[in-house]
Structure 1
Amino acid sequence: MLPRVGSFRGEIMRRIITIALVLGVAAMIGIALLRTGSQIPEQSVLVLELGGQLEEAPPLDALQRLSARGPALPTLLLQLEKAAADTRVQAVLLQIRALDIGYARIQELRDAVMRLRRAGTVVIALLDLATLNATRELYLASSADKIYLVPGFLGPFAGIAGQYLHLGGFFEKLGVQIEYERVGKYKSAPEMFAARELSEPAREIFNNLLDGLFAQIVTGIATGRGLEATRVRELVEAAPSTADEYIAVGLADGVADLKQVLELEGLGEAEEVRWDVYVRVDPRDLGLRSGPRIALIFGDGPITQGGRGLSPRARAFAADSISEALEDAAEDEDILAVVLRINSGGGSALASDQLWRVVQRVREKKPVVISMADAAASGGYYVASAATAIVAEPATLTGSIGIFFLRPALSGLYRKLGIGSEVLTRGPYAEIAVGDKPFTAAQRERTSRFVRALYQEFLERVASGRGVSTEEVDRLGQGRVWLGESALAHGLVDELGGLHAAVTRAQHEAGLDPELDPERVILPGPRGLVNQLSDLMRGELSRGLMERIIPVRLPLILRSAALLVEGELAYLPPYWLEIH
């Protein structure tokens, strides 16, 4: 017997009301906690746990908090900034577990730790992990005053490695031929799908990136631990792994658990304050975030078309959604500058150009400063080039000025599977987008022609935004990826640093008093209850939870690959760069 329509609607309404009540109660509890959040004892020790993944943008509502993969980097940076200004905090202990973030964001955390130390606060790192390579975690820990290791610590100081997959042989076995056209000898992204090994230009790029990043890590650890850089390189060759080996070579100061660390550092009587308590302290009570208003907008993930009204935590750099936020910031007279945070390897060529034009329009009204995270390459750099100024960390992957078109030819696969396919066309180039057969000579020449035209547009956009000639952009382009440190030397970025440096630069560009800490206004702002319920009904919560289970790179690769199989022109970097 089928249920009556009325009873079905009633059940839906009951579910919506239940969800609304749950979210409402959670909001009231959150408000109550915030109101009692500043009761921090004198002589406290702030304990921050760092590990796993970090979100790029702070959560703005209950649904976003529930689907988050980890704490947000800006929120962590704010806690360290508050601790520097808080006379009640005597020391900060960083309990570092296995990290799953890029080296640029680790440098951003290191920068924050160094500012905290310069303010006179003691910072202690406790490495709490057992892993096959602890280079990433040691690099962060070396910014602290002292490093302790938990009993049972195991973590070889083994250096860094990059892995690059090639699927050409796999597709050949399937009978799939990968057709592509590209501009730029270093634009090697299609090789991931079409080749069996690295081309020489790709090998040159990746070796240069590894050399540059390794030098930054060596310098950072050497400076932090008071060692010579040559000695640190020797230690990588030896790969010390155990606590005793770390201590013997000067990479750590002792073995202890958290309680023992506090006793050894004379902090045994201090009150421990955990992250979930300290996060409730209002920064305005410490003289922070009380100055003029600056907008913070986050573009995280592949650049895609559409997305107006999309949740700011959808983990896609959706052109319509980000454009709307930028336009809102431009029209708000209380917002005096904009910081656009980019963590993207690129994406849709059309969406990238849409964002470039919006950034240019906003720049005419007020300063727009780009803060680059782990990557702002290809389409990510295309968008950034329109801004007033660009700030990147030394390890940020940027540049990759180039373009390619790629699609699979499936006729061989169809034959293997016994599938018949016929294409009837009107026009000699209509079949290009169908994807059954390899290109004819005429089709390849026509495709190459419009890919070259889009590369020329890329050059002109960057040249216009950066105030240089297209010839100079082409010399630095050709698909080459640069570390932020090299990009600064070549004029592709203007300054080294993270979000803190970008906000300071925005203050300067807007002519604001440098002594006043700006209020950061995150756009798009918090969503109402109706929008949260709508996201819940659409399954956004389940997608967020799945990304906590599935490694984040797989969804990113699949979303980027979707651009390719749909035959869309893309500004993407060579491969999905992953340095361990």
Structure 2
Amino acid sequence: MKQFFKFVLATVVGIFAATIILGVLSVFIFAGVLSSASEKSTTVEANSILTLEFRKPINERTPYNPLAELEFLGFEEKNLGLNDILANIKKAKTDENIKGIYLNESYLASGQATTEEIRNALIDFKKSGKFIIAYGEVYTQSFYYLASVADKVYLNPQGFFELSGFNSEVTFLKGALDKLGIEAQVIKVGTYKSAVEPFLLTKMSDANRLQVTSYLNSMFGHFLDGISKSRKINRDSLFNYADNMTVRYPEDALRLKLVDGLKYKDEVLAELKKRTKTDLKDDLNAVNITEYDSAPTNGGADKEEENSGSSRNRIAMIYASGEITGGDGNDNTIGSDRLSKALREAREDDKVKAVVLRVNSPGGSSLASDVIWREVALTKKVKPIMVSMGDVAASGGYYISCAADSIFAEPNTITGSIGIFAVLPNMQKFFNDKLGVTFDNVKTSKYADLGDISRPLTPAERAILQNQVNHGYDVFTGVVAKGRKKSQRYIDSIGQGRVWTGKQALKIGLVDRLGNIEDAVKAAAKKADVKNYKVVEYPEQDSPFKSLGATFSAQIKTRLLMSELGDDYRYYEQIKQVKSIMRVPQARLPFNVVIK
């Protein structure tokens, strides 16, 4: 019997060891497959069309997705970030094999400033003399704004064309909190700091309605100006079309010259074949932008060298994207430790001659924002640092920007929101009345249980927290005043939590120039007095082995939720944010801006 157990134990250990060995070998084989797949380059045939289709949210830079090459197994396909989208449009401009761009129907789930960057890249592409053709069965306003720069804009004869103006919606939670017996105890500074309003009110305050009306009209005005210039249609006429919803049928869009023709897709493809001198019986040579990303540039040089020049001098492009928190964060969350480290590395690297901080953030933790601001200020002392603002660089996102030498924003960037708030829930009624749970405690000092959510704040406790928030606002306006070379009183007058567009921010001195990422890079290089340089990206993205499990589990979770919730997924994201803003002082944008 003893020998039997020894045999069984040896067998189990052997199986266990073999499983581990096979697992390790599988990982290396899997990594090899990914590596070899990623090394494959796309061959672009002569007389080709570059197809642009945007159906997924566009990140600031292409996410590292080790499962992208296994799309055939059901994993999420590669999704280019803004950095590679712009680089590939620029590459296509001088690619002899690319004759034009086909802008296919897109729902364009991106912010207004991101759309602006792509739109400007397309305008620059047209300088090459190559054509752009746009086609859609459905034109949302965002997609039409992008497509309006095309040489020809075609709409399906039975399609849908949206031109109805912009709308900004806020979800209010007070009614739900009241039913649950939860009180949101709010401490804030700033008349316009309306991030707390969903917990306190059932509709917008007058101050919030004023600021939303102001920035929304600014964004819509820029939208109309762009279309007016591209389509050569009077701006006031465009406003009236939207105000009266004049465009209700495809024939209306054609009659008003918003589109150039009503065509089915086969007719558009036939025109593309004609433009590329392709026989109607042959297939059109087309390559989508994701495939084109792996195509060699002219002359066979790699993409980095073509776009970046000499590697002796470097411009550091540091991405700060997402909510600001403490800790490491990731590519979609700004962790103060990770971003501070990136700034230090760029500052201490002698090869890095200047820094561009790309900010796309609604803000977050005021403490984490200050930690990052300190690194920006230190960097400014030793080398030029420019800020390029994306869709939003507000509240904490503005805090980390204000120490830079110069700030660039798009006209439709959302910025400002200089203010501080804190929310502490009082869940006494919820515990007592809804759950029948009560609490009792013993403490050694008066404020030992300050912040306990099982009871309301006392007047003395509220005063302490209000003083802390007031101090945070004083620090915030102080660093902005120093960075922008303005008086603190002036910053307070344009602060108070008020949100501005990039165009408005330029007039009041919160930004220096309206421009894109490339403008910021050129300005950084000029201030550093370097002409040949290589752009290097920070922070370093996660390695395949580190991100593999997280990517896989995150994709499964997100896909299940999005498939179940559809367009309502954004409400789920908003509710998730509620937990993150409780108890910790926040420098955060009041709301999410969604424009269809």
Match of 1:541 in 2: 552
Matched residue SS, 1:125? strand
2:292 paired with 1:278: yes
Distance 2:137 2:336 in 1: 40
Match of 2:181 in 1: 175
Match of 2:72 in 1: none
Q: Render the CA deviation track for 1:55-99: whole Å, top value 9, x for unaligned.
A: 222234625776678321111111111122223322111113112
2:419 paired with 1:402: yes
Q: Render the CA deviation track for 1:136-175: whole Å, top value 9, x for unaligned.
A: 1111111222211235422322221111111111111111
Does the 8 A contact of 1:60 with 1:525 survive in 2? Answer: no
Letter paired with 2:168: G
Q: Render the CA deviation track for 1:241-264: whole Å, top value 9, x for unaligned.
A: 432221111111113345532533
2:96 paired with 1:87: yes
Distance 1:509 1:158 in 2: 44
- Selected match of 2:114 from 105, 123, 127: 105
2:470 paired with 1:452: yes
Distance 1:180 1:69 in 2: 42
Match of 1:51 in 2: 55
Distance change >3 Å, CA 288–CA 474, structure 1 → 2? same
- The aligned runs of 1:281-296 (5 Å cut-off) are 281-283=295-297, 285=299, 287-291=306-310, 292-296=313-317
Once the two structures are overlaid, the 10-residue window that deviates more, 197-206 or 55-64, is: 55-64
Match of 2:492 in 1: 474
**Structure 1: which 5+ runs fail to align?**
none
Distance 2:136 2:317 in 1: 32
Identical amino acids, percent of aligned pairs: 30
2:440 paired with 1:422: yes
Match of 1:486 in 2: 504
Does the 8 A contact of 2:427 with 2:454 survive in 1? Answer: yes
- Selected match of 2:260 from 228, 244, 253: 253
- Selected match of 1:508 from 504, 526, 533: 526
Q: Render the CA deviation track for 1:316-349: whole Å, top value 9, x for unaligned.
A: 1111111111212122222222222111100111
Distance change >3 Å, CA 302–CA 231, structure 1 → 2? same
- The aligned runs of 1:383-394 (5 Å cut-off) are 383-394=400-411
Does the 8 A contact of 2:142 with 2:595 survive in 1? Answer: no
Match of 1:342 in 2: 359
Letter paired with 1:57: R
Matched residue SS, 1:269? coil
Q: Render the CA deviation track for 1:275-325: whole Å, top value 9, x for unaligned.
A: 244212344747432244222222221101001xx6x43x11111111111
Distance 1:348 1:254 in 2: 50
2:201 paired with 1:195: yes
Match of 1:30 in 2: 38
Distance 1:61 1:334 in 2: 29
Matched residue SS, 2:55? strand
Distance change >3 Å, CA 208–CA 150, structure 1 → 2? same
Distance 2:325 2:333 in 1: 7
Distance 1:9 1:245 in 2: 71
Matched residue SS, 1:306? coil
State how many pairs are aligned.
Answer: 561
Distance 1:330 1:508 in 2: 17
**TM-score, length of structure 1 as denominator length:** 0.90
Does the 8 A contact of 2:65 with 2:551 survive in 1? Answer: no
Match of 1:78 in 2: 87
- The aligned runs of 1:53-452 (5 Å cut-off) are 53-60=57-64, 62-63=66-67, 70-129=79-138, 134-236=140-242, 237-264=244-271, 266-270=274-278, 271-283=285-297, 285=299, 287-291=306-310, 292-307=313-328, 312-313=330-331, 315-416=332-433, 417-452=435-470
**TM-score, length of structure 2 as denominator length:** 0.88
Post-superposition shift, 1:8?
Answer: 4.5
Could you say which structure has the larger radius of gyration? 2
Distance 1:189 1:438 in 2: 21
